[in-house]
Chains A and B, each alone.
With several copies, the nearest count.
Chain A
Amino acid sequence: MSIQEDDFDIGVEHLRLKSAGNGVGAIVTFTGLVREFESEPKSTDFQRNLSTLTLEYYPEMTEKLLSEIIQQSFDRWPLVAVSVVHRVGSLKPNDQIVFVGVASEHRIEAFQAAQFLMDYLKTRATFWKKIEADGQSHWAEAKVSDNVAAAKWEG
């Protein structure tokens, strides 16, 4: 698990998961990218050109939360390895933001765990996005759809 300003290399991350142990039959990865267009909050048609995305986090607490989320994924599914990388600082359109990779014996648990990790990361890990678009900046709003996605893993 890593929180870093530097970019990450999917090939390197994938190789690490592939080499994680005997019996890996499935690797699922998720990569989140900065999109070039930013929908106006509360509007579906007006879009603005994003110039910079700045990611803030809470040092130490964010690492601890990510570790807990990763631990939960191991508690829920028989996984061989999990890798999470989240970038912070200043990013540009098409930059990579986040990587989640899961290696397991079979594909079902790898897909499930990767989705779980992303849903929990999106709603529980202390990162905040500031968006600069068309010369104005605002903090991103939390999405109801992310809370709905995370809620389905409860209970």
Chain B
Amino acid sequence: MINLLFFGRLSEFTKDVSQSYECAGESMTPLIIREKLTLESKALGQELSEPQVLVAVNKMIVKWDHIVRDGDEIAFLPPVTGG
């Protein structure tokens, strides 16, 4: 199981999409998961494809082709606005 987290404005688009994926042996990346999510919600897919959106696996920023494993946590991070 891979858990998905959506922060900031991204959380507004996740009402009807999966919050986790089964990782059935196949090689999985944030990019593949983004494609799966886009099939569920085109609006979310568009938001996730914005170039400023970063992806973290287990709380580390990674590239979109990072291999994820069962038990990993993927977080989608829009531009930060704290401070």
Q: Which A residues fall within an 8 A CB radius of B?
A: 32, 55-58, 60-61, 64, 86, 97-98, 118, 121-130, 139-143, 146
Say whether, besides A56-B8, A142-B52, A121 and B59 are in contact (CB < 8 Å): no
**B83 pairs with A121, CB closer than 8 A:** yes
**A128 pairs with B59, CB closer than 8 A:** no
Say whether, besides A60-B59, A61-B59, A61-B75, A142 and B81 are in contact (CB < 8 Å): yes
Q: How many residue pairs bridge A and B at CB < 8 Å?
A: 66
Q: How far is the CA of A123 from the CA of B80 in the complex (A)?
A: 6
Q: How far is the CA of A64 from the CA of B75 in the complex (A)?
A: 15
**B83 pairs with A58, CB closer than 8 A:** no
Q: How far is the CA of A3 from the CA of B49 in the complex (A)?
A: 30
Contact-residue bracket for chain B:
10 to 19
B51 to chain A, nearest CB (A): 12
B49 to chain A, nearest CB (A): 17
**B59 pairs with A124, CB closer than 8 A:** no
The interface residues of chain B lying within 8 Å CB-to-CB of A61 are: 56, 59-60, 75
Among A32, A122, A126, the residue within 8 A (CB) of B77 is A126
Chain A CB within 10 Å, residue with most, of B12, B75, B78, B83: B83
B44 to chain A, nearest CB (A): 14
**B80 pairs with A98, CB closer than 8 A:** no
Q: How far is the CA of A61 from the CA of B55 in the complex (A)?
A: 12
**A58 pairs with B82, CB closer than 8 A:** no
**A127 pairs with B77, CB closer than 8 A:** no
**A142 pairs with B83, CB closer than 8 A:** no
Interface hits, B36-72 → A, CB 8 Å: 52, 56, 59-60
Say whether, besides A139-B8, A139-B12, A142-B52, A121 and B75 are in contact (CB < 8 Å): no
Q: How far is the CA of A122 from the CA of B79 in the complex (A)?
A: 10
Known: A97-B82, A122-B82, A128-B82; 7 extra A-B contacts, CB below 8 A, are A32-B83, A121-B82, A122-B80, A125-B80, A128-B7, A139-B9, A143-B81
**B79 pairs with A58, CB closer than 8 A:** no
Chain B CB within 10 Å, residue with most, of A61, A98, A123, A140: A61
B5 within 8 A of A: yes
